[in-house]
Amino acid sequence: MASLIKCKACGTEISKNAKICPQCGEPAPKKTSLATWLVLGIFIIGGIGMSNKSSSGSSSVPLTPKEEAQNQVTLEDFNWGTSGFGSVMMADFKIKNDSKYLVKDIEITCKDYAKSGTEIDSNKRVIYDSVEAGKSKKIKKFNMGFIDSQVNQSNCKITDFQI
Ligand SMILES: [Zn+2]
């Protein structure tokens, strides 16, 4: 690991925090090796980059329960077909709630693509149902409304919900 250094006298790898080498008793080298500095540098640069990214959104304000749960409520499974003259999207969803809150009124947005890959339609519906904390819920044959008859593929994701 990065926290190991080599003893000057015997070459044994010892902890950076060790004052002396457990092998030969030689005082541990104080100078941090170049490799350690490199690793440290990468961590520092990486850390700055990451803190910049997060601070651009909301700084140090504590997250609301909804913000906290934002990335923890996901669409685990999704299947769809059409019914009613082939123009109404009927979808089965499996919503996974990894947050510690009960979530409800889940808004799902689907982008619909034609065979050519062009986005030709989209639909948004709110599922007025709730999913308990840490649980998954299957929603069967949910009516996502009319879609273009040329839709070949659909990508759905959760775009909003209430706590
Ligand atoms: Zn040694």
pLDDT at 104 over 60: yes
pLDDT at 24 over 80: yes
Is 60 exceeded by the pLDDT of residue 72?
Answer: yes
Distance (Å) from CA 18 to ligand 1 centroid: 11
CATH number of the domain where residue 131 is located: 2.60.40
Q: Which domain holds residue 80?
A: 66-162
Q: Do residues 8 and 74 both lie within one domain?
A: no
As for how many domains the chain has, the answer is 2
Kindly tell me if the per-residue pLDDT of 53 is higher than 70.
no
DSSP string, 49-90: HHHHHHHHHS-SSPPPHHHHHTTTEEEEEEEEEEETTTTEEE
Confidence of residue 82 (pLDDT cuts 50, 70, 90): confident
What is the mean predicted confidence (pLDDT) over 15-43? 78
Quick one: 31 exposed, middle or buried, by C-beta within 10 A (0-12, 13-18, 19+)?
exposed
More confident residue, 6 or 118: 118
Domain match, 72 and 111 both: yes
pTM over 0.75: no
Rounded average pLDDT over 60-81: 88
Assess whether 97 and 158 both reside in one domain. Answer: yes
**Ligand 1 centroid from CA 163, angstroms:** 59
For residues 134 and 90, membership in a common domain is answered with: yes
Same domain (yes/no): 139, 103: yes
pLDDT(139) > 60:
yes
Whether residues 77 and 42 share a domain: the answer is no
Rounded distance from Cα 27 to ligand 1 centre (Å)? 8
CB atoms within 10 A of CB 127: 20
Q: What percent of the chain clears pLDDT 70, i.e. is strictly above it?
A: 85
Q: Quick check: 137 pLDDT over 50? A: yes
CA of 35 to the centre of ligand 1 (A): 19
Verify that 15 and 53 share a domain, yes or no. yes
Tell me the residue length of the chain. Answer: 163
